[in-house]
Amino acid sequence: MTSSAEAATKPLGRVLILAGSDSGGGAGIQADIKAVTMLGGFAATAITAITVQNTLGVHGVHPLPLDVIEAQARAVLDDIGADALKTGMLGSVEVVETVAGLIDYAGGVPAVVDPVMIAKGGSPLLAEAAVEA
């Protein structure tokens, strides 16, 4: 049996992060990459949206096409593989559904679902309709 101390210090392995990109570097996929790396893991990514943000707030959100999100994730899963998945900003019902399909495609790989709904400064990052998804 693994103790909590052993689990906390065990390297993460390969983590596929499916989330939005934060141009300010303080949140989103950039923050997730830093966290995975600091914990000894290898971070691969599938970007769901490009955000325009800085310390003053979110100035724009540009979702990527669903086929691009799916292609990024499948390219990683089919070659590099993943020991864990982590979601972040998904933004819409369609992206939530696409990512749910990718979690299934990963075949039982554990997933951490982080439903990013609002930016630190209060800007919404998840469509109202996607909350139930």
CATH of the domain at 120: 3.40.1190.20
pLDDT band at 85 (very low <50, low <70, confident <90, very high): very high
Q: What is the pLDDT of residue 6?
A: 57
**Max CA distance (Å), the chain:** 48
Residue 106 to residue 84: CA distance in whole angstroms: 9
Residue 35 to residue 20: CA distance in whole angstroms: 15
Q: What is the pLDDT of residue 26?
A: 85
pTM: 0.83
Query: Does residue 3 lie within any of the structural domains?
Result: no
- Average pLDDT over the chain reads 86
Query: Does residue 70 lie within any of the structural domains?
Result: yes
Is pLDDT above 80 for 3?
no
Query: Does residue 106 lie within any of the structural domains?
Result: yes
Q: What is the pLDDT of residue 120?
A: 60
How many folded domains does the chain comprise? 1
